[in-house]
């Protein structure tokens, strides 16, 4: 019992008030320190994966990025959006548009936010839309958390199905799914870097996860490196399909996840942990779902179909036009190896044919290319002729139905 402070005797009420003031001061001090640390350039003060004291539950937010806001959506995009809102009425749904992205990044990563001028500078300089879209999704999910889905992804099941019953949401920081599980091709010169990846067209996470910041910083470093190699500013960089995949897309996403997962788990985690998974796995706070969850119906990686109980979303790909600006490697005769869709025999034949072509002399290669072009031109001529014939037949049939043979100049 402490009846007095120095020579001053305190009443019970005074002691209660003094205790309350001390508690308030302590809480304010912690808050002040936390805010200072959080505002310091890139310093992560939040617990790493596996310790969710600050965000025990996933935010009830659904995020999408698109050129326009939902009031201007095309019908197909509106249908996709409604699949998310109708199945998850308790969640806030938000679309970040091309008109508001810069403001969002400047607000959250400016001096009053995380104070990362390097992020703002790089994002503002980018002109490649797919690179900006990839980077923006990671920035939004770092700030907000919740669920991210591409605009052409349909929700098949409610979000409460994303965490199997055997897991405690408090122990899960991020939910991802396998997209491509074809490690047989890991040494292939073209397919290797894409043969093992997690899906980033849909994922779920809590705010302030280190992996989102790691991914962002990896991308910034990659862009600066590419700028030096090409001797061009970031705004003028030229990138092919594989650059996008490995720089900001699924391969970049997967590398960052495995790195952070290894730190959280306390040991190196490799793709072998997730190869041929029969059921989901929780590693270092990352809940990894089977390929059927987010990437069903691909025709490879044992991905199953969208009617399966485990299928949670369906990717329709209608918004995925970016490869037209960032083309895949296309052999002048044998085309793109990706068209094999991970079929082992098809890839083997493509490898053999391209190797045989490479062994020819330059003159022989030019001759083969000329023959291939002539064959393609003839095939296109025949296709056009057949299409014209079919159109004429359809027009004749329509005229007959209208009793208008004379109108076609046949009577």
Cα 290 to Cα 308: distance, rounded to the nearest angstrom: 12
Sorted by where each begins, the domain ranges of the chain are: 61-324, 362-408
With a cut of 50, say whether residue 37 has pLDDT above it: no
**Span of 276-280, 294-298, 351-355, 405-409 with lowest mean pLDDT:** 405-409
Helix (H) or strand (E) holding 397: helix 362-401
264: nearest Cα among 245, 288, 248: 288
Mean pLDDT (the chain) is: 87
pLDDT band at 46 (very low <50, low <70, confident <90, very high): very low
* pLDDT of the residue at 381: 93
One of 3.90.660, 3.40.50, 3.10.450, 3.90.550 is the CATH number of 61-324, namely 3.90.550
pLDDT band at 9 (very low <50, low <70, confident <90, very high): very low
Residue 409: per-residue pLDDT = 53
312-325 per-position pLDDT tens digit: 999 999 887 888 89
For residue 2, the SS3 value is coil
At residue 405 the predicted structure's pLDDT band, cuts being 50, 70 and 90, is low
Q: Distances from the Cα of 229 to the Cαs of 124, 125, 170, 214, in angstroms?
A: 21, 17, 44, 22
Select the highest-mean-pLDDT range: 19-23, 33-37, 99-103, 385-389: 99-103
Alpha-carbon distance of 98 to 148, in angstroms, equals 16
Longest dimension (CA), the chain: 123
More confident residue, 19 or 255: 255
Question: Can you give the pLDDT at residue 400?
Answer: 82
144 has a pLDDT exceeding 50: yes
| Higher local confidence (pLDDT), 202 or 54 | 202
Which among 253, 241, 251, 233 has a CA at the least distance from the CA of 124? 233
- Two structure tokens written together for 298: 């691909």
The answer to whether residues 269 and 156 touch, using CB atoms and an 8 Å cutoff, is: no
Q: How far is CA 134 from CA 36, 131, 251, 253, 283, in A?
A: 29, 5, 12, 9, 24
Instruction: At 149, give phi and psi (nearest 5°).
Output: -145, 135
- Percentage of the chain with pLDDT > 70? 85
pLDDT of residue 397: 86
pLDDT bucket at 48, cuts 50 / 70 / 90: very low
Tokens 């970016």, located at residue: 322
Q: Residue 52: its pLDDT value, please? A: 54
Phi, psi of 82 (to 5 degrees): -65, -30
């Amino acid at each position: 019992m402490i009846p007095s402070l120095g020579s001053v005797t305190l009443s019970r009420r005074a002691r209660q008030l003094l205790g309350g003031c001390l508690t308030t001061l302590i809480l304010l001090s912690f808050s002040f320190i936390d805010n200072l640390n959080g505002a310091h350039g890139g310093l992560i003060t939040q617990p790493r994966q596996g310790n969710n004291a600050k965000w025990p539950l996933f935010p009830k937010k659904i995020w999408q990025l698109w050129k326009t806001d939902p009031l201007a959506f095309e019908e197909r995009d509106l249908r996709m959006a409604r699949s998310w809102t109708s199945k998850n009425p308790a969640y806030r749904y938000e679309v970040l548009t091309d008109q508001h992205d810069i403001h969002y990044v400047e607000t959250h990563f400016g001096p009053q936010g995380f104070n990362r001028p390097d992020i703002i500078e790089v994002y503002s300089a980018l002109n490649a839309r797919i690179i900006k879209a990839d980077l923006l999704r990671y920035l939004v999910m770092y700030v907000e958390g919740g669920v991210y889905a591409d605009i052409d992804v349909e929700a098949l099941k409610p979000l409460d199905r994303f965490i199997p019953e055997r897991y405690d949401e408090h122990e899960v920081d991020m939910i991802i799914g396998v997209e491509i599980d074809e490690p047989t091709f890991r040494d292939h010169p073209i397919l290797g870097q894409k043969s093992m990846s997690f899906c980033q067209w849909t994922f779920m996470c809590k705010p302030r996860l280190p992996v989102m910041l790691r991914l962002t910083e990896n991308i910034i470093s990659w862009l600066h490196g590419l700028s030096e190699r090409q001797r061009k500013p970031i705004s003028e960089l030229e990138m092919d399909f594989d650059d996008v995949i490995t720089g900001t897309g699924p391969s970049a996403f997967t590398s960052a996840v495995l790195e952070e997962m290894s730190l959280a788990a306390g040991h190196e985690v490799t793709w072998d942990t997730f190869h041929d998974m029969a059921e989901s796995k929780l590693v270092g706070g990352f809940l990894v779902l089977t390929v059927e969850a987010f990437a069903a119906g691909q025709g490879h990686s044992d991905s199953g179909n969208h009617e399966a109980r485990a299928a949670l979303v369906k990717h329709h790909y209608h918004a995925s036009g970016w490869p037209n600006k960032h083309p895949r490697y296309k052999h002048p005769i044998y085309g793109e190896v990706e068209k094999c869709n991970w079929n082992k025999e098809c890839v083997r034949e493509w490898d053999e044919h391209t190797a045989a072509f490479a062994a020819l002399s330059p003159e022989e290669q030019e001759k083969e290319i000329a023959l291939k072009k002539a064959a393609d031109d003839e095939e296109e001529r025949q296709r056009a002729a057949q299409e014209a014939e079919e159109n004429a037949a359809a027009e004749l049939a329509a005229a007959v139905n209208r009793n208008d043979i004379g109108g076609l100049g046949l009577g």
